[in-house]
Amino acid sequence: MEVKYQFKIDTIYCGDNLDVLKDFPDECVDLIYIDPPFFSNRTYEVIWNDGYELRAFEDRWEGGIQHYLGWMRPRIEQLHRILKKTGTFYLHCDYHASHYLKIICDDIFGQKKFQNEIIWCYTIGGKSKKRFARKHDIIFFYTKGKKWTFNGDAVVIPRPKTHMKVRTDADGREYQEKTDKKTGKVYRYYMDKGKIPEDYWTDIETINREARERLGYPTQKPEKLLERIIKASSNEDDIVLDAFCGCGTTVKVAKDLNRKFIGIDVSPTACRLMSKRIHYKKDDIVGMKYSIEELKELPHFEFQNWVIERIGGKVSQKKTADMGIDGIVPISEYGSNLPIEVKQHSISRPDIDKFETVLRRTKKKAGFVVGFKITKGAMEEIARTKNDDKFIIIPITIEELLAKNKIKK
Ligand SMILES: C[S@@+](CC[C@H](N)C(=O)[O-])C[C@H]1O[C@@H](n2cnc3c(N)ncnc32)[C@H](O)[C@@H]1O
């Protein structure tokens, strides 16, 4: 059987995780965290906070919850297969599907392998007058074998003072004491020693608008959350895998904590962003090379992002997108900040006419049009606008983009 996705540590894979995981050997990773689309029936659309990357990704599941679960199950089965016997699995979800997913995980891992349902509480988000506001996510924690890593002491949090009296010992250290009523044994808790968190986490906020780590990815998770999970459930040099890694929070934190990482995401835009975040070479992302047929099938925004990046341009902010510009090329031999028009089909005469209007409106003398083919009519129109109106429209085909790097220069 042909192996397309060779198992390699410290690697980002761009592809459907089911295809990627099927190519991995049994029991090869120590820790898995996943944060799959939540079955929330929402389409996320954002402008990246660098202002240029127009992003969208769907987590709409038209066939209902059963369709979603049928989609998740084989992926969790593969994750269970590739997890080492000593390994740990975390599944991040919310009320939309958590109860159904728990049943699937119990089935695959075994009920006895369930360790925790972690309730991650946050404060931001909407209020409701019709019900109690929904302010938490759920993270299921499973293990695979009889032994596993749990470094509780690596993730201690400050010990909150209880109603018991705070005393001070001879060295000036504060403590509280509790007496076991049955045995009479006295337990002493030093306030500066901290405690292992319980299964509800209230001390980690979601990423707000001001957060420095915010990249603008719609469902980006805070690094602190991943830090707690990775520190508690792995050791240095262990292999940490995230099969829905989005903008790469798990991968970034694993790398910072001297773990090996594997990140998988189906979105090329997410993979590119993640590679930038961790200073990973884009050309080393496994699965990012496309054939013409694959490019035709890409969601339009992914196709557009791929083309524009390949030309060395920037995806438009919404403002300019509204003017009919998909992107701009900041510097080229024809001038600066020139518009790019991207079509996921052939460029024909009417496309050139429309683009000429865009050039007029934006007061630019030149611009780029990109499509799978440039029809004869379009070429004639390009020649005419050059002669009559002195506009320079540069046609580029996808074949040219695939074949050379020349255009980038
Ligand atoms: C909720 S987001 C993950 C966000 C991530 N935890 C972070 O901090 O950035 C879910 C991700 O799953 C990806 N995804 C959806 N279906 C996928 C599939 N079949 N294979 C791999 N990734 C997939 C989406 O592209 C999206 O980036």
Query: pLDDT tens across 362-373, in order?
Result: 899 999 999 999
Who wins on pLDDT, 10 or 405?
Answer: 10
Does the pLDDT at position 220 exceed 70? yes
Domain limit, last residue, from 141, 174, 195: 195
Q: Do 90 and 232 have their domain in common? A: yes
In a domain, 90, yes or no: yes
pLDDT class for 289, splitting at 50, 70, 90? confident
CA of 271 to the centre of ligand 1 (A): 10
Q: Do 228 and 333 have their domain in common? A: no
Q: Do 85 and 62 have their domain in common? A: yes
Q: Do 366 and 401 have their domain in common? A: yes
Return the half-sphere exposure (C-beta side, CA atoms, 13 A cut-off) of residue 317. 4
pLDDT class for 389, splitting at 50, 70, 90? confident
Does the pLDDT at position 298 exceed 80? yes
The answer to whether the CB of 16 is under 6 A from ligand 1 is: yes
The answer to whether the CB of 223 is under 6 A from ligand 1 is: no
In a domain, 3, yes or no: no
Mean pLDDT estimate for the chain: 88
The answer to whether the CB of 219 is under 6 A from ligand 1 is: yes
pLDDT class for 119, splitting at 50, 70, 90? very high
Residue 291, classed as helix, strand or coil, is coil
The answer to whether the CB of 246 is under 6 A from ligand 1 is: yes
> Based on the structure, what is the number of domains in the chain?
3
Rounded CA gap, 251 and 220, in Å?
12
pLDDT class for 403, splitting at 50, 70, 90? confident
Q: What's the pLDDT score for residue 317?
A: 63
In a domain, 1, yes or no: no
* Residue nearest to ligand 1 atom 27, measured at CA: 246
β pairing state of 260-265 and 43-47:
unpaired
Give the helix ranges, DSSP H, for 314-404. Answer: 318-322, 349-362, 376-384, 398-403
Does the pLDDT at position 55 exceed 50? no
- pTM tops 0.85, yes or no: no
The answer to whether the CB of 261 is under 6 A from ligand 1 is: no
In a domain, 268, yes or no: yes
In a domain, 5, yes or no: no
Q: Do 361 and 386 have their domain in common? A: yes
Question: What is the tens place of the pLDDT at every residue in 328-357?
Answer: 888 888 888 999 999 999 999 999 999 999
Q: Do 212 and 174 have their domain in common? A: no
The answer to whether the CB of 37 is under 6 A from ligand 1 is: yes
The answer to whether the CB of 140 is under 6 A from ligand 1 is: no
Q: Do 264 and 379 have their domain in common? A: no
Please state which of the ranges 10-19, 125-134, 312-321 shows the lowest mean pLDDT: 312-321
* Structural domain boundaries, residue 179: 158-195
CA of 220 to the centre of ligand 1 (A): 10
Place of tokens 């593969």: 78
The pLDDT of 133-142, averaged and rounded, is 96
In a domain, 189, yes or no: yes
Domain limit, last residue, from 251, 284, 317: 284
CA of 178 to the centre of ligand 1 (A): 46
CA of 263 to the centre of ligand 1 (A): 10
Give the helix ranges, DSSP H, for 151-242. Answer: 223-233
Q: Do 106 and 171 have their domain in common? A: no
Helical (H) or strand (E) element with 174? strand 174-179
The answer to whether the CB of 57 is under 6 A from ligand 1 is: yes
The answer to whether the CB of 220 is under 6 A from ligand 1 is: yes
In the chain, % of residues over pLDDT 70: 90
Q: Do 166 and 141 have their domain in common? A: no
- With a CB cutoff of 8 Å and minimum separation 6, the contacts of 220 are 207, 213, 214, 246, 247, 249
Substitution candidate for ligand 1 out of 266, 271, 272, 301 with most atoms within 8 A of CB = 266
The answer to whether the CB of 264 is under 6 A from ligand 1 is: yes
CA of 111 to the centre of ligand 1 (A): 26
Domain limit, last residue, from 245, 263, 284: 284
CATH number at residue 334: 3.40.1340
Q: Do 63 and 178 have their domain in common? A: no
Substitution candidate for ligand 1 out of 101, 244, 271 with most atoms within 8 A of CB = 244
Q: Do 189 and 280 have their domain in common? A: no
The answer to whether the CB of 221 is under 6 A from ligand 1 is: yes
Rounded CA gap, 148 and 309, in Å?
43
In a domain, 184, yes or no: yes
In a domain, 206, yes or no: yes
**The two structure tokens encoding residue 71:** 């989609």
CA of 245 to the centre of ligand 1 (A): 5
**The two structure tokens encoding residue 101:** 């997913």
Rounded CA gap, 135 and 130, in Å?
14
CA of 246 to the centre of ligand 1 (A): 5
Q: Do 240 and 383 have their domain in common? A: no
CATH number at residue 127: 3.40.50.150
